[in-house]
Every structure is written in C-alpha cells, then in structure tokens.
Structure 1
Amino acid sequence: MRKYFILSLLFTGLATSLTAQDKQITLEEIWNGTFSTKGMDVLHSMKNGKQYSILNMDRESKTITVDKYDYSTLEKVETIVSTEDLDGISHFTSYTFSADESRMLLATDIEPVYRHSRLGIYYMYDIKSGKTQKIADHKIQEPTFSPDGKKVAFVYKNDIYIKDLETGKTDQITNDGEKNKIINGIADWVYEEEFSFVRAFQWNASGTHIAYIKFDESEVPQFTMDIYGTELYPSEQEFKYPKAGEKNAEVSLFVYDLENEGTEEVELNNAHYIPRIKWTNDKDILSAQVINRHQNALDLVFYNVKDKASEVVLHETDDAYIDITDNLTFLKDNSFIWTSEKDGYNHIYHYAKDGKLIRQVTSGPWEVTNYYGYDARTGRIFYQSVENGSINRDVYAIKLNGRKKQRLSSRQGTNSATFSADFSYFINSFSNVNTPPRYTLNNAKNGKELKEIVNNDALVQKVKAYGLPEKEFSTIHINGYDLNMWMIKPADFDPDKKYPLLMWQYSGPGSQQVANRWGSLNDYWYQMLAQQGYIVACVDGRGTGFKGAAFKKMTYKELGKYEVEDQIEAAREFGKRPYIDADRIGIWGWSYGGFMSSNCILKGNDVFKMAIAVAPVTNWRFYDTIYTERYMQTPQENASGYDENSPINHVEKLKGAYLLVHGTADDNVHVQNTMRMVEALVQANKQFDWAIYPDKNHGIFGGNTRLHLYTKMTNFIKKNL
C-alpha cells in the first residue's frame, strides 16, 4: 500500500511531499512476540517502604534472581537469592516472603490445575543462612507462612498440613479430604473461577489459629472431559461442575487451634456461599462474607474464637446482585473500609467495628475501580477511579474523612499503582491508545513523577514502520444511550469509498472493551485487517461496566437481550454511514462475546453477513451456577430468560456465514456448548463452518495454535465479508 503524506518541518515551515511504503503486519509477527511489551515481573514492596524486589532472569546464563532495588535511586541494592547459589534448584517462577522478610518460599515445577490454581514443589529459603528446606516431597498447593515465619501451612490431596520449619515435623490438621468429594482449604472449581480465589485458609495475626473453608461436593454433578493426548487410548478428566440450577457444594467454615489441636465450626446460619474469609487485626476475631444463592443479600459476619460467638455486623441487599471484591480493609481500631454500589455507583465507605456507618468516603456519578490501601500515618486512602471519563483510569488519594481528594496521576489514559509498604512511593503503570506501558516512580504525597523505570519506546519506533492509523474513540447514540465505541479505519481511508465492517465485542456484565489503553495483540490483528481494507469497530453496550449500577444491571435476568439489541442497532447505524457497506458487516467474539456474535447473526440476520464465535456459551443452562445465577437466577425460576436469549434456540434464523470454534479441554465453557449448537444447526439444515482444537482449554493456545486459529478466522473474514 502506498501512502502519500506531508512532512512538516517545524522550524522552517518547509513541506515536502514524500512517498512511503508501509510494512504489512503478518499473523506470524502478531503471535511470535514481535509486538510484545516490557513490564515489571513479580514486584514486591519491602516492608521498610524504601525498597522493592523483582524477579529477574538472565537469558544468556539462564540464571533466576530476586533482586532488591532502592525506590529513591531505582538502583539495585543486592541480589536476595540466585539459582547460581541454590543446590538442586535450577529454576523458580515465583517467590513470597515471610512477614519479617527473613525467609522466602520459592515455587518450582509448577503445573496448572484450573485458571488460577497450581500444583508445585516448594522450597523455603533462609536469606541469612542461605539454606533451603523442601516443604514436601510431592506437589502441593498454596503454601503460606505463619506470621512468625516458623511454619508453613499447605494443602495436599484436599487436606491441610502444617510444617514446622524449626523441627521439620509436618502435622495433618484435616483428614477427610477426597477427590471430587471433600476439599479442605482450597476452593472448588466454581469458586475459583467465579469468586476468583484458590486459597481457602488463613492464619490469624498471632499464628495460633487457622480458619478454613470446607467444600463438600459429594452431591455436585460430575463433568467429564476426554483428553486425547498422544497415547493409544484417550484419558478422562473428571471434576465437579455445578451447572445453573444444579446443586452446589455445601460449604462450612472451621477454625483450627494449633495449641489445643482442636477444630471448631463457625455458625453461619446455613450459608450458601462463603466467597471471602479474612482475620481482623484482633487475633481472636475472624470475618466471613456470606451470600445467598441469588447473590443479592450479603452478610459480613464476625466470629470470636474465645467465646465461639458469631455476629452479623453488616447486611447489604440489592435488587439485582452484589459483586464480591477484595477491598475489605481493617484499620488499627478494627473499624473497616468497604466498597459498595448502594448509592448507584461503586464507592468507598468507612464503618465502625460494630458495623455502624461512619461515613461515605467517596461519592459522585463515577466509579471507584480499584482500592489500593489506607495509610494510617497520613490518614489517606488510595484508589483508582473513572472520575476523568469512563474510558480512562486515574490514581487518587483522599482523607478517611472524605476531604482533600487529590489526583495523583497526570497523564490521560489508563493509570494503575503499586504502592510501597509505607505509602511513601508508588510505581505508576500508564498506557493509552498511543503509548505502550510505561512504569514510573512517583511520590505518593503529590503524585510527582520522580523517575522512569521501564518504557516501551523501542516498540513505538518499531510500530511506526507500519504506518498504522489511530484507534478513534467516540460515542454512538443507541436505544436511548450514548455508548462508548472505538473505530479503526484503513490508513489510506477514503470517505468516498465503501468499506466492509467487522465488529468486535465482549459485552459481559460489568466488562469494558472500549478503554483508553495500549491495545492487546488482537489490536494488531485489527490493524492488519485495516491494512487489507476493512474497518473494525467496537461498541460497549448496555450491561457493560463503569457507568453506574443501573447501566450495568439493566441486563439482569435477560442476558443476551439488551446487549444483542445494542449490537444490532449499532450495526444498522454504522451501515447508514456513507463509507460503510451495509451489505458487508460482520461480528465476532470469544466466550461471552461468542455467545453474543452467535445471537447477533441469528436475531440480526438482516444486518450481519457473517459471524465468528470462539468458545461460546450457546445455552446458559450449560454454564456454572455462580456466574449464571448471579445475573439470571435459576432456570427453574427464569426459564424464559434462559431460553429466549440462548442462540441454540434460534438456529433456524441463520442466513449468513457462521464459524464456530472450540477447544475440547475447555473446563470453563464446555465444548458441549458447541456440539449441541452443531447438532441444532444440522437438524435445521443450516450450513456453517467449525473448528475443534484438541486438548485446548478456554484460551485455545499453545505452540502454533493461536497462529492457526487467527489464520482460519482471517481467511473466513476475507471469504465472507
């Protein structure tokens, strides 16, 4: 493609007409790391607040180190541990410190279980002596130091163990763990996926007690996946997976007393879900968040290990659902910070230890999107919000009394912060649509940038050679709302020509794809398509996030209704623009986005010429309890909401080109969704294309898999759009 442009020479005003041949993006470049960005790996702020540590790897020597750096100079102070000095440990992938930072846990030989969970061999490394100690001879989960660093609790085969690092003795504190039946101290599949945690045990502040959740999944229906592998006969992976309306694991909360070696059950009045447990600053008081099956009524319960009494200190309800977060923070007096959408937007609240509201700390028609912590020395709370526009993120500080709010980030785009332990510094991660990730050291008092740590300027120069157009942000008025959108046009865009349009969306509850940040690898694919004459657009419709609870929750009990209406209407509006060919509009998406693209080509068969659905939900009855029922209630209660919005029930409406893609080892959105969709399409005598990736999970990656998938999708678009 030839591109003509004018180069303005700033000081002379001389303009010269030049011709440039821009490089063409290839799929191989997208997926071989050509456009990858640099970052900071496994960052830990040291407890002194003046230094931080980073996991580094020397690619030439293949040496792994944990190095300590000074915040004020950003210079390396020392190497805390190196594989060169470790006998029998040639590689480790993560590390955690004991509370006093005298010891570390090093993770080796890690293998994934599900999305967040891992099994591995772990070693304790004593920094002063340089000696290591293996925690167990077999692979374990979630090893965690006691507060004094002298013990490590971990889970092995669904039971909890405690290893005394001084004596080397290991004690088993639960004895009923059994695969696909009883789990102690580790979340079951659906909790891990939808409540986003794995470790379901916690030490108290003095190390005298461990609280843990027990999952009895005996009556949860079992799901089986074939693993084809390379052997003569496939194997099977079996795990408990509660689909919408089916039985969940029965959960109960226990506290183990290390001194008395006794276990007490915490009375929680038949809790349906226990999505969070956390000890308060009082070593005798445990907090637990308890939520009902509909997830619209939450209790914060305090349990006293001395008198064995439970008390509900906070009760919150919602007409739709309550989101679970990790924002609960206990202050020195055991008052606590909490975030809630109860005024219509997600904001920060301060409660007394008895649950009485002291004040709402933040307020306004905008959302708090991340809570970073509380600095007791200055009385300030640090958080991230969209106060500067729903597609932007900024870092703020505010007094606990709700006064003296201060914006600490200065660049418009997406800012996030990692604070030093004493809140004197923060490392700001910044990017926007034109700037790849940039990490800077900032003064937490006023946000002033002190020094740059990492930039991706080399990538900027590399990308310039391709002559890529900008991603244009705007809004589109659809169904009574101004919806955020972006659009990428060919670099040589001619408003008098008509272009085919590919729409991309995810659309899930509370999600966001239209954000002022550096693009993902998918963006390079969109740029590649733009180089080949396509326009690509994305619209965040109703139900997406960061515009208030009412906007997000209007899809309650009707997933796939309003979101689909918005995408169809947006496509119609795009088709009215003189430069878009209304007869050549396509849509694609992955997971929830695949559910959406499937619905769009069926219910919008007069608008969309083609659709691609990767790993789609095709019927919400096939998906898990926690996610689906949060937004839909159960199928028994809301049959029409499930059935009228599931694409599997609308296959007879298919007119355009449709590509279905799935991995057979998808433990999240099961390949059952695609197989049932295929059968429905066949019986409706509808022609379509599909691709199955053996033994690939929900991410469909590994080796050449992504390259193959995106080649297939690109060819499908070229053929049908």
Structure 2
Amino acid sequence: MRTVTRLSDADYARAEQMLAPNRALRVPGAVQPRWLAGGARFAYQAGSRFVVVDPAEGTKRDAVDADRLAAALSAASGHAVEATDLPITSVELGDSVRFSAFDARWEFRSGECVRVERDRPEGPGEVASPDKKWCAFRRDGDIWVRSRDGEQEFALTDDAEPDFGYGVTVDALSSRTLLRAFGLEPAPVLVWSPDSTRILTHRLDQRALAEQVLVESAPRDGGRPVAHRYRYPIAGDETTATASWTVLDVTTREIVRQQGEPFLATHPSMLEEFRWWTGKQGEAVHFLHQSRDGLALELRRLDPATGEVTTVLAETGRTRVDPTPEYWEPPMARVLDSGEVLWWSQRDGWGHLYLYPAEATVPTQLTSGQWLVRRVLWVDEERRQVWFVAAGLVDGDPYVRQICRIGLDGTGFARLTDDEFDHDAISPPEGGYLVDRASTVSTPPRSAVLDGDGLVLVELESPDASELAALGWTPPERFRTTAADGKTSIYGLLWRPHGFDPDRRYPVIDHSYPGPQVCRTASSFDNTGTGDPEALAALGFAVVAIDGRGTPGRGKAFHDYSYGALGESSELADHVAAIRELGHRYPWLDTERVGMTGHSGGGFATARALLTHPEFYSVGVAVAGNHDSGVYLSMWAEQYHGDVSDEGKRAISNTALAANLRGKLLLMHGELDDNVHPYQTLRLADALIEADKDFDLLLVPGVEHAMFGRMHYVTRRLWDYFVRHLHGAEPPEYRLAKLPLPSGSVLM
C-alpha cells in the first residue's frame, strides 16, 4: 500500500531556501574576474569584499577596507551605511576607489570619501571606450557618444528609421519586455577600436519581417490593454533580418559602410561575434558568418578603412557547422598577429583545433582523439603554444573539463590538470595566466590563478556547502546509464529527497531541458540549469536530469542524432530507459509515479513526454514551452532541424499529438513572452480542447519568458501540482516570498 506524503508549511519553507537566489546567499558562485590594466591584474567581488589580484607578484589584497569605507561614506553622505551592506555600484578600482551611491559619484582615498563632480561612468545601455574617456549609446536608433567629463555629446549617425537602426539586437531575442519593466533600453551592440577612436557597429534591417503583437491585458496604469509589436521571423519565412557593418570615427565623424550585400542576421550572436585586430597584415575586423540553414560557416575580414569584406576561410557540412560545442560559449576562431588562423572544427567527428597558415587553405590539425576542445584560453605566439579547456579526457564522464596545452605545430600536448574536478578556466584577453574555477557536484568552485605550466600563483576562494547541508541539502549523484538503443552511454544527475529513507518509495520528477544547443547536466557544482530541482528534492521527490542523444558536448554523431529530428533532441526514450534502469538500481525509486517539468525547450519536452510516452509519464508542468516549433524562431527549425516542409514542421509540433494525452498536464506561460510567444501554449491548448482532453492552464499577465516578478507564484503552483498528483496529497497554504532579481558584480 502506497504511503501518502503530506507536506507542511515547514517543508515548503525549506524548499524555498533551495531556490537559486537563496542558495546563492549561502554558497558564493565562482570568481568572476574583471581585468585591470590590460589584464596584468584583475579584481573580483566576494560578497561585500572587493579583491585585487596581481598574478605577477603572486598577491591578492582587499581593495578597500569595508568598515572604513562605510564610516567615511556615512560621514560624507549623511546616510547610515553598514559595512556588510555597502549601497555602492559602478565600482572602479585603481590607486583610489570610485563608486556611485546616493545619486552621486564618490572617490575613497586616504580614509575619506569625496564627492566627484563631472564624472559619469558607463551606465545601463552604454559601452565605454577602452580608455574610459567616451561612452557610446543608442538614441532613437542612432549611435551617440558622450565624453565622461560631460563636456561633449553628439550623434555619429542620423539616418535611423523604425526597424532599421544601428547597434540593434533582433527583436525576437532582445528581452524587450523585461527591459521595459525596468525602464531600460537594450545596450547597443558595438565594439570600440583598441585606440578608442572608432566604433564598429551594424545597421539592422527588420522592415520586411512579419509583425507579431503581444497584448498587455493589465497595464500598470489601469487603462486599456496595450499592444506591443515586434518583428518576428518564423521557420520558412521568405525574408529574415539583414545587417551591414558600419565604422564610425569619433574624432572626424567619418562613416565607413560595408561594401557589398548585407549579411543574414538570424540570431543575436551573428551580430556580436567580432574582433578588432591589428597584425602583420595590418588592421582589420574579423567576424563569423553563418548561412541561414547553418550548413556553412565562414570567417570574414572587414577593412575598417574601406568597408571591403573578404572571406578568410570557410567550412561546410551535411548538418549544422558550429563554431563551439555549446551555442552560448565563445566561438573558437582566432586570428593571430602572424595572420594565421586558429579554428575549431568537428570535421573528424570530434571538436578539435586546426591552424591555418596565413593566406593558405590547408590547415594543421593540432589536437585529435575521441574527446573535444571546449574553450580556447590563451595563445602565446612567441612560445608557439595554445592553452585550452578539454572534455572527454577523464574516464567515466565525458563532460568533465580539464586544462590542457599544446604547441601550434601539434606537438607537446600536456594536461595541466588531471583530477576529478571540473575546471571552468578563463584567461585575460592578452593571456599570461589562467583563472581556474574547479568544482565537483559536491564541492563549490575553488578558484586559483595558475601559470602556463599549471602551477598555482595565487589561491583565491574556497567556499564550502556547509550552510546548505545544514538545511538538509545533499549533493546530487552523477550517474551513467544506457540509452534506449541498448548500447550508447548517457549521463545525468540524481537528487535524493531531503530526509532520505531507503525503505521508502519516492516519486520521480524528470527535470528536463532538451536543447540541441546546450547540455542539461554538468559535472560542476552549480548544475541546476533552468528551474530548481533541489527545491523539488526538498519536497520529497527524487529528481533526475538527463542528457540523452541529440545534445552537444560529446561527439558530432551524438549531437547529430537530433538533426532532422528536433523533436527527439535528448531523445525522450533515453530518459525513459535511464529512469527504468535507475529504478532497478535503486528500489526506493517509484517508477510507477514519474512526472516531468521544464522551461522553454523543457516545457516543449514536458508536454511531448506525456504525449509520446503516456504509459510512463503521468504528470507534467510545462512552463513557457515552444510547443509548435514550426512557427517559432526561424533559426531553431532551419538550423537544428533542417526540414521546414509542412511534414517537417508537423514532426516538431506537440499539437499534432494532442489526442495522446492521458496524464495530468499543467501548461503555464507569460502573456508578454517575446521569445516563446504565448500562442505556442495556446495552440497546444486549442488542440487539446479539439481532442476533448482535460488539462490545466495558467496564463500569467504582465510577464515575459523568465516570468520575473511573478516567478514565486509560478514556482508555488508548480510545486502544488506535483504534490497533488504525484504525492497524492493536498499542498499546504504556504506562500513564497517574491524572488529577488538576479544580481551580478557591481564592478565595472
């Protein structure tokens, strides 16, 4: 006989402490360096501390005494300030400390705070020049600059039109709804020349794109509903956004425009991946260009003096050609001072580095083997060596990352780390050292500065998880199981319920994100992805996260499993096989009570799991799901699926499967979601009604894709749904506090 789990307010309160913003208060995240003086030194923020590190000297020091700063600011401003809660932003570290507080700019020097006039630092929506003398911003679609001392402000362009402006991000992924809620404009997409005299930006043309309308039902002023219009391309549209590069001279006001035809701009990264370069061949801007179908990737060169564009090298493939394993990682294409090109490719079935000689087309393969390079860290042309992060070198887990080095002739391969830790390292723009953030699923990131041989120069931070453990947290278990094909190994994470008792039986929640562009699970500490599986574990559920076939981070064949079959990304049959195998391994897993939840692509997967495996998944909460990807962002189906025929689009739509629903399904969506528009959920709702199926629907007014501001309500409704339908009990009356918005470092 099954025991019904009844939860109290105390259980919900404990789960609330496992939500990401609350966990972050107890376990600091990895060190986030801010490079100073060309990267010779860096600063980082640790709680209320500001730390400056000098790798060459092997030292770190507090940049400011928080107690003295608090006392000095209190005296100078007339406001009471606590050292543990300094109300400062836009912090600049140097011989003195400058910061903003109480609507003023201050300098802290020799124990005193002095108000600084005529110093307005880079603000939201602005991009500072390398010498910090200028800030560039966008106004009415044109690019403007202002001097930091307030003496000058002028436009560099004056011909912007609606949907044809400069430095603009494509509407479909610009988070305009969220920014509007905070009274902000998207920051312009541009880069300064190294000498701070010119700006490279683009002019984006969205005029030919179809318009999409979102209706704000309950505006804050209480008036009539408000229509918000966006340009939004979907799969198979005849037109898409195009852009042309533009070079703006701050001194002469001269404008140099790109020669030739505009390029396609199907995604923000197409407008952001460029690098101003000066080498033996002179000055140039290099950028990546990808074909609309994703099957061709080119490195192109722009002459900032003439606007001429030439192709440096190109690669084509049968499936999407990627510049990096995961979509949001920095692309691994680098032009060296010598004119040689360091290039990442999966042409041999894995992800490896190649070196193209200047003006040559035949490269040297630098790395090889059944593993992949995940990130290029540092290239030393004098020593003819490159440092990088690699995955697949640790037995038993192909996702663990290690730091490696190899010569630019392909010899001298060396692993600088060789342990069970996952190493998420970064390096300053000019190289010279590495900042290593090493963690496991149970160990928070331990940060240190390493030299080129992997030796520790400076120990930084080593937080622990004791405060989380005191609340009942236990780390997830990293597991390996076999895919549905009976031969492929797949990997995932298993969170045990709080207060775990092996003699009990626990329902299982599959916490899913099946994106073909990112991994769902990781071997590092902060591996929760979107959502909070640890909070569900605190409510007495066993929670799993799985990377099935069709996801990145491993070999090309593993990833390509979902090409032409986007609906099978992270193959749900692999999830079923994995959970069943875990059920044989752990008798306390009740595989007769299995649910799924996920956000965005995870929302799509949740509904699809209940529709394609109704005998296995009985409860689902699908949040902001793109349930009909044939009418979603064009690049999604065109590049990751490849088939935008009517039949191809039907294959990646949940609406076609609505008649299969047998379990309990809750659909949730924000009415102002300008990424995955709410019609995605409403189309599935329409199909379910047409099939005469019972389901639950929550449309949340006033919120966008991430549902900021109302996520506490959405989270509680998600918990309640699983408590009712997997635990079989009524949830308590507990109400969650509003979740704080994500916050980052206040360092500039």
Q: TM-score, normalised by structure 2?
A: 0.79
2:311 counterpart letter in structure 1 = V
Q: Would the alpha carbon gap of residues 93 and 400 (structure 1) be closer, same or farther in structure 2, given more than 3 Å must change?
A: farther
| Shift of residue 655, structure 1, vs aligned partner | 0.7
1:4 counterpart residue number: none
Confirm whether residue 152 of structure 1 aligns to residue 158 of structure 2.
Answer: no
Higher deviation after alignment, 381-390 or 183-192? 183-192
Deviations 1:372-391 (A, max 9, x none): 22234543322111132422
Given that 2:213 and 2:227 are in contact with CA atoms closer than 8 Å, whether structure 1 keeps it comes out as: yes
CA distance in 2, matches of 1:698, 1:376: 44
Q: 1:244 touches 1:634 (CA, 8 Å); kept in 2?
A: no
1:616 aligned counterpart, secondary structure: coil
- Structure 1 Cα separation of the partners of residues 156 and 543 of structure 2: 56
Find the partner of 1:478 among 461, 481, 484: 484
Deviation at 1:541, TM superposition (A): 0.9
- Equivalent of residue 125 in structure 2, options 141, 144, 169: 141
**Paired residues of 2:664 and 2:725 also in contact (CA < 8 A):** no
The question of whether the paired residues in 1 share the 8 Å contact of 2:339 and 2:357 is answered with yes
Please state how far the C-alpha of 1:693 moved relative to its aligned partner. 2.5
Deviation at 1:471, TM superposition (A): 1.5
The residue aligned with 1:253 is 245
Residue 397, structure 1, aligned to residue 405, structure 2: yes
Contact persistence 1:475–1:482 (CA under 8 A): yes
Cross-structure match for 1:113: none
Aligned counterparts, 1:247-646, within 5 A: 247-258=239-250, 260-273=252-265, 274-275=270-271, 276-282=273-279, 284-306=283-305, 309-324=308-323, 325-354=330-359, 356-386=361-391, 387-388=393-394, 389-420=397-428, 423-439=431-447, 441-457=448-464, 459-460=465-466, 462-463=468-469, 466=472, 468=474, 470-479=476-485, 480-489=487-496, 499-520=506-527, 526=533, 534-561=541-568, 563-571=571-579, 573=581, 579=587, 580-633=589-642, 635=644, 638-646=645-653
2:274 corresponds to which letter in structure 1? I
Note if contact 1:103-1:124 (Cα within 8 Å) is conserved in structure 2. no
Q: Secondary structure at the match of 2:59?
A: coil
Q: Could you tell me how far apart the structure 2 residues matched to 1:687 and 1:714 are?
A: 17
Note if contact 2:88-2:100 (Cα within 8 Å) is conserved in structure 1.
Answer: yes
Q: Is the 8 A contact 2:295 2:317 kept in 1?
A: yes
Identity of aligned residues (%): 23
Instruction: Report what 2:28 is aligned to.
Output: 38
1:54, CA displacement in angstroms? 2.7
Deviations for 1:615-651, whole angstroms, at most 9, x for unmatched residues? 111100231122332112463xx32222123111111
Aligned to 1:26: 14
How far residue 572 of structure 1 moved from its aligned partner, in angstroms, is 5.3
Q: How many Å apart are 1:658 and its aligned residue?
A: 1.1
Whether the 8 Å contact between 2:204 and 2:244 is mirrored in structure 1 is yes
Instruction: Kindly provide the CA deviation profile for residues 89-136 of structure 1, in whole angstroms up to 9, marking residues without a partner as x.
Output: 996645689xxx899997999xxxxxxxxxxx9989999998554669
* Cα deviations by residue, 1:16-50 (Å, 9 ceiling, x for unpaired): xxxxxx99982222238553221366521323655
Q: Is the 8 Å Cα contact of residues 93 and 106 (structure 1) preserved in structure 2? A: yes
- Which consecutive residues of structure 2, in runs of 5 or more, have no partner in the other structure? 1-9, 80-85, 176-185, 324-329, 730-748
How far does residue 462 in structure 1 lie from its aligned partner after superposition?
4.4
**Number of residue equivalences:** 670
Which SS does the other structure have where 2:562 is aligned? coil
* Displacement of 1:414: 1.9
Alignment partner of 1:697 is 2:704: yes
Contact 1:568-1:600 at 8 Å conserved across structures = no
Tell me which residue corresponds to 1:52: 42
Whether 2:225 is the aligned partner of 1:243: answer no
Verify: 1:226 aligned to 2:215, yes or no: yes
| Aligned mates of 2:450, 2:359 — CA distance in 1 | 35
Asked if the contact 1:424–1:443 (Cα under 8 Å) also holds between the matched residues in 2, the reply is no
Q: 2:109 and 2:360 mapped to 1: Cα distance? A: 42
Q: Is the 8 A contact 1:427 1:442 kept in 2?
A: yes
Residue identity opposite 2:295 in structure 1? N
* Partners of 1:499 and 1:410 in 2: CA distance: 37
Task: Describe the SS at the equivalent of 1:478.
Answer: coil
2:193 to 190, 193, 204: 204
Normalised TM-score (structure 1): 0.81
**Alpha-carbon shift at residue 315 of structure 1 (Å):** 1.2
> Shift of residue 205 of structure 1?
3.6
Distance 1:125 1:336 in 2: 44
Q: Distance in 2 between matches of 1:619 and 1:513?
A: 21
CA distance in 1 between partners of 2:207 and 2:248 (Å): 23
Give, in angstroms, the shift of residue 160 of structure 1: 0.8
> How far apart are 1:496 and its partner, in Å?
7.7
More strand by share: 1
Structure 1 CA distance for aligned equivalents of residues 88 and 331 of structure 2? 28
Work out the CA distance in 2 between the residues paired with 1:102 and 1:318.
52
Q: 1:75 aligns with which of 49, 58, 61?
A: 61
Query: Displacement, 1:428?
Result: 1.7
Q: What whole-Å deviation, never above 9, does each CA across 1:122-178 have from its counterpart, x for those lacking one?
A: 9899999985546699x8623230x55443332222211133457822231211224
> C-alpha separation between the residues in 2 aligned to 1:140 and 1:498?
51
Aligned to 1:182: 164
CA–CA distance in 1 between the matches of 2:277 and 2:543?
Answer: 49
**TM-aligned CA deviation for residue 708 of structure 1:** 2.3
> Which stretch shows the higher mean deviation, 43-52 or 315-324?
43-52
Residue in 2 aligned with 1:5? Answer: none
**Contact 2:481–2:578 under 8 Å retained in 1:** no
Q: Secondary structure at the match of 1:343?
A: coil
3-state secondary structure, aligned to 1:402: coil
Q: For 1:485-534, what per-residue CA distance to the aligned partner results, in whole angstroms no more than 9, with x for missing partners?
A: 33344578777875433222212114222322224568996456556654
Change (3 A) 1:203 1:398: same
Equivalent-residue separation in structure 2 for 1:483 and 1:136 (angstroms):
49
Q: Following the alignment from structure 1 to structure 2, what is the Cα–Cα distance between the partners of residues 628 and 48?
A: 41
Q: What per-residue deviation string (whole Å, max 9, x for no partner) do you get for residues 688-710 of structure 1?
A: 12223222222234363365244
